[in-house]
């Protein structure tokens, strides 16, 4: 399949997911446009990270479809899912670096596991990835020798080691000081465009994600209640949307009915 002919890298249709009999996602449908940065925002505990795990095939939905590169993730066999996952990557909140491996070997790990490249080429690629996050000098350090911001950037370098089509960021700015947050924002933006990737970003740092995202979904109580470009959300007249963007949290059931998403721009996306 030629990805250049696809308008949306991911298409989610009528997706529902429950945990311990609690409905986390309730019949949601959304598109993730190829080559863009899409942000998922909303109150804590409403299923944003769960949605990332569903896209990655780590969880099985109650119902619905998740199309990625023309494959329906929930219907894939284990072997097929393993192959599809090579095209996606995820940056975890915890960084998830191997503590017993050097920075170099952490980034080399996916290359050694999923490719047949020789060590000389792997070394070249690892150093290039480190260069892309401005950390080439730390290649021989261990994770416990890194600052929190440096560890996050190493994790980012590892997440792009296989040049994935899709990278998912789960709260990438959490625990970062303002300077490092600005560095990470610039890296996410520049890497997405320089490498032609598609990025999905989950974050509570609303101002930051609104400054780099091309498209935003606001999720509340398991439903998509607003969507659009950052500018369109800022101009949205819905009281809950405005209060959320301004950091004023309200009981959604008191402010509006959200049986369907707010249609900010009709038919923006093209189907695969």
SS3 labels along the chain = CCHHHCCEEEEEEEEEEEECCEEEEEEEEEEEECCCEEEEECCCCCCHHHHHHHHCCCCCCCEEEEEECCEEHHHCCHHHHHHHHCCEEEECCCCCCCCCCCHHHHHHHHHHHHCCCCHHHHHHHHHHHHHHCCCHHHCCCCHHHCCHHHHHHHHHHHHCCCCCCEEEEECCCCCCCHHHHHHHHHHHHHHHHHHCCEEEEECCCHHHHHHHCCEEEEEECCEEEEEECHHHHHCCCCHHHHHHHCCCCCCHHHCCCCCCCECCCCCCCCCC
- On the question of pLDDT at 214 being above 50, the answer is yes
Higher pLDDT, 264 or 73: 73
Count the residues in the chain. Answer: 272
Burial of 118 per CB tally in 10 Å (0-12, 13-18, 19+): exposed
User: In 10 A of CB 60, how many CB atoms?
Assistant: 9
pLDDT for residue 211: 92
Report pTM.
0.83
What residue spans define the domains of the chain? Answer: 1-87+166-174+182-272, 96-163
pLDDT for residue 264: 31
pLDDT for residue 207: 86
Quickly state the pLDDT bin for 44 (edges 50, 70, 90): confident
Find the mean pLDDT for residues 218-231.
Answer: 93
Name which of 37-41, 128-132, 183-187 the model is least confident about.
183-187
pLDDT for residue 145: 96
State the CATH architecture for 1-87+166-174+182-272. Answer: 3-Layer(aba) Sandwich (3.40)
- What sign does the dihedral 44-45-47-50 (CA atoms) show? positive
- On the question of pLDDT at 248 being above 80, the answer is no
Burial of 105 per CB tally in 10 Å (0-12, 13-18, 19+): middle
- On the question of pLDDT at 191 being above 80, the answer is yes
- On the question of pLDDT at 155 being above 80, the answer is yes
């Amino acid at each position: 399949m030629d990805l250049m002919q696809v308008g949306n890298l991911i298409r989610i249709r009528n997706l529902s997911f429950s945990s311990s009999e609690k409905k986390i996602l309730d019949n949601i449908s959304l598109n993730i446009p190829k080559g863009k940065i899409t942000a998922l925002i909303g109150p804590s505990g409403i299923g944003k990270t769960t949605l990332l795990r569903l896209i990655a095939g780590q969880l099985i939905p109650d119902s619905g479809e998740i199309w990625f590169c023309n494959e329906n993730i929930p219907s894939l066999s284990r072997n097929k899912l393993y192959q599809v996952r090579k095209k996606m990557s995820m940056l975890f909140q915890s960084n998830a670096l191997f503590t017993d491996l050097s920075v170099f070997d952490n980034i080399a790990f996916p290359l050694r596991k999923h490719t047949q490249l020789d060590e000389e080429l792997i070394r070249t690629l690892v150093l290039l990835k480190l260069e892309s996050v401005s950390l080439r000098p730390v290649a021989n350090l261990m994770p416990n020798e890194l600052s929190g911001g440096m560890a996050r950037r190493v994790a980012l370098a590892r997440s792009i080691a296989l040049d994935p089509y899709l990278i998912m960021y789960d709260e990438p700015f959490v625990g970062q000081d303002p300077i490092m947050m600005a560095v990470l924002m610039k890296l996410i933006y520049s890497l997405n465009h320089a490498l032609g990737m598609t990025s999905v970003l989950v974050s509570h740092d609303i101002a930051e994600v609104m400054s780099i995202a091309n498209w935003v979904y606001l999720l509340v109580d398991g439903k998509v209640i607003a969507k659009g470009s950052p500018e369109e959300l800022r101009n949205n007249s819905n009281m809950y949307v405005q209060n959320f963007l301004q950091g004023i949290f309200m009981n959604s059931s008191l402010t509006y009915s959200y049986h369907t998403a707010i249609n900010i721009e009709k038919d923006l996306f093209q189907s695969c």
